[in-house]
Amino acid sequence: MLDTYHRGGQCVDIRRGDHACKFQQIDYIQRMLKTPHLMNTAEVRAADAVCELLGTVPGVQVESVEHERKTDCDYGDFGMDGILGFAHGGRHYALVVEVKPNGAPRFVRSGVYRLESCVARLRRSSVISTGRHLIPILVSPYLSPEARAICMDHDTAYLDLVGNARLSFDTVYIERAVAEKPVSEARALRSIFAPQAGAILRVLLREPGRAWRVADLAAQARASYGHVSNVRKALLAREWIEVGEDGVVLVQPDALLQNWRESHRRPSGESITGYTHLHGSQLDERLRETLNPHPEHPRAIYAQHSAAQWLAPFGRNSTHTLYADQPGADALKETLKLTHAPRGANVVLIIPTDESLFHDASEPSSNVFCTSPIVTYLDLWIGSDRDREAAEHLAGEFFPWLK
């Protein structure tokens, strides 16, 4: 059943630009939306955001606020969370509201489909007054650029609590985009790109388009089934993967890598700097004798710009950077005859806590081991401007699908 509230000719008209009148208008919508049947926190916050958005438009007159009860509905389940009727420029409109507590693309897409179905059914019913133009609008705490694109593709208005919005009617067109991400979204992305999850993502990125079953993916990434399932769920929510008969397939490797590079942090661990008198081919030969990614021996691999020099050469860098475990670092210090150098160091050894970096090391030349192209790209991307140029050059060699 629908709870309906009408104010008729007493609706506040804010065309005069009177700030007091505008706030009366907003307060009216808020009080009407916050009915006993709308106690869900997400819906209350969504209602506030909708009324604030409308309150910024001069000439809007709110005529009715309707909220569908979740049970005992005489009109059947239309699927909407609310309907807000208003007039502008002599025409009558109704915002058909769908609230999504989770604004990930997968849930946004389902919300858009619900709105399309709801609007079609409302047009065939007598619930909405004849002549009222229906505007579907999806509201969520946060809508990513990908989620907003889904709304635009389906001609659906959108609004989130961060400030992103798009609404068009009559002569009014509102579109706002903010760079800010809520803390919860940043936290969710960090969990997706955490070191343990990173090993799984690198397996997927190595072969975009390949179908992976959970067991195979877990074996390749040396991860537990539970961890793979959690990563799989997060990627599905963002529509970066799809599930087929043969398993999950990475269908948006570019979106995955673009988001990863914005959240990436270089591996944590002890850093050792020093100076070696070895140079050129003599240094290369000494390192060939020491580099190794396998756990049964001291491990050491080229990293960052030093790895890029072997994978996709781009300029020169006089500092050699390597990832190593403790035995590997000890071996390198002995092999390179490293001496302490507060200034002018030309070797940096990093002992990462994430051992998976060694698992998918690449071998661009005999006995030359480097971080994988994906790790190298990510490490370079967050470096200096010159490092980022090297990252883009490497991407051109290894990731033709990256936009």
Instruction: Tell me: pLDDT of 385 over 70.
Output: yes
Q: Dump pLDDT digits (tens) for 288-335.
A: 999 999 999 999 999 999 999 999 999 788 899 999 999 999 999 999
Residue with the larger pLDDT of the pair 174 and 4? 174
**Taking the CB of residue 12, how many other CB atoms lie within 10 A of it?**
20
CATH number of the structural domain 184-263: 1.10.10.10
Q: Which helix (H) or strand (E) holds 326?
A: helix 326-335
DSSP line for 147-208: HHHHHHHTT-EEEETTS-EEEEETTEEEEE------HHHHHHHHHHTSHHHHHHHHHHHHST
* Higher-confidence position of 151 and 39: 151
Domain ranges of the chain: 2-176, 184-263, 269-398
pLDDT digit string (tens) for 76-123? Answer: 355 678 888 889 988 999 999 999 989 999 999 999 999 999 899 888
Report whether 175 contacts 190 (CB < 8 A).
Answer: no
341: pLDDT confidence band, cut at 50, 70 and 90? confident
Phi-psi region at 167: left, alpha or beta (left = phi > 0; alpha = psi -120 to 50): beta
| pLDDT value of position 293 | 96
Per the CB < 8 A criterion, the answer to whether 120 and 78 are in contact is: no
What is the radius of gyration, based on Cα positions, of the chain? 28
**Which of 157-164's residues contact partners 24+ apart within 8 Å by CB, and which partners?**
157/95, 159/46, 159/49, 159/50, 159/53, 160/49, 160/103, 161/45, 161/46, 161/49
Asked if residue 13 has pLDDT above 60, the reply is no
pLDDT tens string 198-208 = 999 999 999 99
Q: Tell me the three state secondary structure of residue 121.
A: helix
- The pLDDT-based confidence of 50 (bands split at 50, 70, 90) is confident
For the stretch 268-293, pLDDT in tens is 999 999 999 998 889 989 999 999 99
The pTM of the full predicted model, rounded to 2 decimals, is: 0.77
- Average model confidence (pLDDT) for the chain? 85
The token pair at 56 is: 């910024």
Considering all CA atoms of the chain, what is the largest pairwise distance in Å, rounded to the nearest integer? 89
Torsion angle in degrees (nearest 10) through CA of 39, 40, 45, 51: -50
φ, ψ of residue 91 in degrees (nearest 5): -110, 155
Strand partners, 175: 166
Q: What does the pLDDT look like over 135-168, one tens digit per residue?
A: 999 999 999 999 999 999 999 999 999 999 999 9
Residues of the chain with pLDDT > 90, as a percent, come to 64
Q: Compute the average pLDDT of residues 329-343.
A: 90
